[in-house]
């Protein structure tokens, strides 16, 4: 029942909008589901969704590498913990929308601008998650590894990394939609293709169905990124989740 409820809400909403359309009561900027369906050209959609997906994935991957590396460094060198966290938070606080035109001037309107923005948008949740996760080892577990005379590499491999996974995945789940939305925002600054470009073009052409298709594409990409990591997490983290993260 609880699983069926969200689906039910969607069905009722879509059906309701379609019914209002049939009654002629819909405003012009709200296309009916049937109009969206008619306006959706798979080739056009793919031509825009593909580049966005690629840029967001590249940005996410780079951000993940940087965040995990920085979190590892912060954990290994206690003096760097505060500065690294502050740097991550500061980068997070810069409005992407303000940075995008600057980057477009520096890097051009090619994919590099969008990837850099995706990195900036996605890095902090992963950094914060990994920094918390790498410290999630409790004192008794450390004592256990001490009595086993475990070398640092074994402590990392057998203790610190597995203990951090619930926190790391938590960060990944939040960061994936951020990477998608960062990419789309960056695409507004003059990309030729991409969901952001599609959105902007449709807006200036006053083509509500295309605008809505772009919005839906963005939602599917962002939600899909979350769902992907949620699924990986469910497969990997089979033990009790940390109490504060439990549903």
Partner 1 sequence: MSREVLIEHASMVFHPRAGRRGDGVVALQDVSLAVGEGRFTALIGPSGCGKSTLLRLVADILQPSAGRILVGGAPPGEARRAHAIGFVFQQATLLPWRSVLQNVALPLDVVGRGARRSGRSPEALLTLVGLEGFARALPHELSGGMQQRAAIARALVLQPEVLLLDEPFGALDEITRQRMNLELLRIWQESRTTALLVTHSIAEAVFMADEVAVMSARPGRITRLVPIGLERPRTLGMMRTAPFFEAVNQVRDALFGTEQEPLADPVEAY
Closest CA to 71 of 135, 121, 118, 150: 135
Of residues 204 and 239, the one with the C-beta less far from partner 1: 239
The smaller minimum CB distance to partner 1, of residues 156 and 216, is found at 156
Size of the site for partner 1 (CB under 8 A): 20
- 43 forms part of the interface with partner 1 (CB under 8 A): no
Q: How far apart are CA 216 and CA 205, in angstroms?
A: 18
What is the nearest approach in angstroms of partner 1 to the Cβ of residue 236? Answer: 9
DSSP class of residue 80 equals H
The least distance separating partner 1 from the CB of residue 168, rounded to whole angstroms, comes to: 13
The binding track of 154-193 with respect to partner 1, each residue x by CB under 8 A or -, is x---xx--xx-x----------------------------
In whole angstroms, give the CA distance from residue 13 to residue 171: 32
The pattern of x and - marking residues 139 through 158 that bind partner 1 according to CB under 8 A reads: -xx-xxxxxxxx---x---x
Cα(166)–Cα(156) distance, integer angstroms: 16
153: left (phi over 0), alpha (psi -120 to 50) or beta: alpha
User: Is position 25 an interface residue for partner 1 (rule: CB under 8 A)?
Assistant: no
- Minimum Å gap between C-beta 229 and partner 1 is 18
Backbone angle region of 206, left / alpha / beta, with phi > 0 → left and psi within -120 to 50 → alpha: left
Could you say whether residue 240 binds partner 1 (CB under 8 A)? Answer: yes
For 45, 162, 188, the CA distances from 193, given in Å and listed in that order, are 10, 40, 10
Site of interaction with partner 1 (CB under 8 A): 140-141, 143-150, 154, 158-159, 162-163, 165, 237-240
């Amino acid at each position: 029942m609880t699983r069926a409820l969200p689906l039910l809400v969607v069905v009722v909403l879509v059906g309701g909008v379609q019914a209002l359309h049939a009654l002629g009561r819909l405003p012009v900027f709200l296309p009916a589901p049937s109009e969206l369906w008619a306006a959706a050209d798979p080739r056009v959609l793919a031509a825009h969704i593909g580049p966005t997906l690629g840029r967001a994935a590249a940005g996410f991957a780079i951000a993940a590498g940087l965040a995990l590396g920085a979190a590892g460094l912060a954990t290994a060198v206690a003096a760097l913990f505060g500065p690294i966290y502050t740097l991550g938070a500061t980068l997070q606080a810069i409005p992407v929308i303000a940075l995008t035109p600057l980057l477009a001037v520096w890097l051009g309107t090619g994919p590099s601008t969008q990837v850099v923005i995706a990195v900036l948008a996605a890095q902090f949740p992963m950094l914060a998650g990994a920094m918390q996760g790498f410290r999630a080892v409790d004192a008794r577990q450390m004592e256990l590894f001490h009595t086993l005379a475990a070398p640092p590499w074994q402590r990392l491999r057998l203790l610190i990394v597995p203990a951090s996974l619930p926190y790391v995945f938590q960060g990944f789940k939040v960061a994936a939609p951020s990477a998608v939305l960062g990419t789309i925002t960056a695409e507004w600054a003059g990309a030729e293709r991409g969901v952001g470009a599609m959105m902007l073009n449709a807006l200036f052409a006053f083509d509500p169905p295309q605008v809505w298709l772009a919005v839906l594409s963005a939602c599917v990409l962002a939600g899909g990124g979350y769902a992907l990591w949620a699924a990986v997490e469910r497969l990997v983290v089979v033990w009790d989740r940390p109490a504060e993260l439990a549903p």
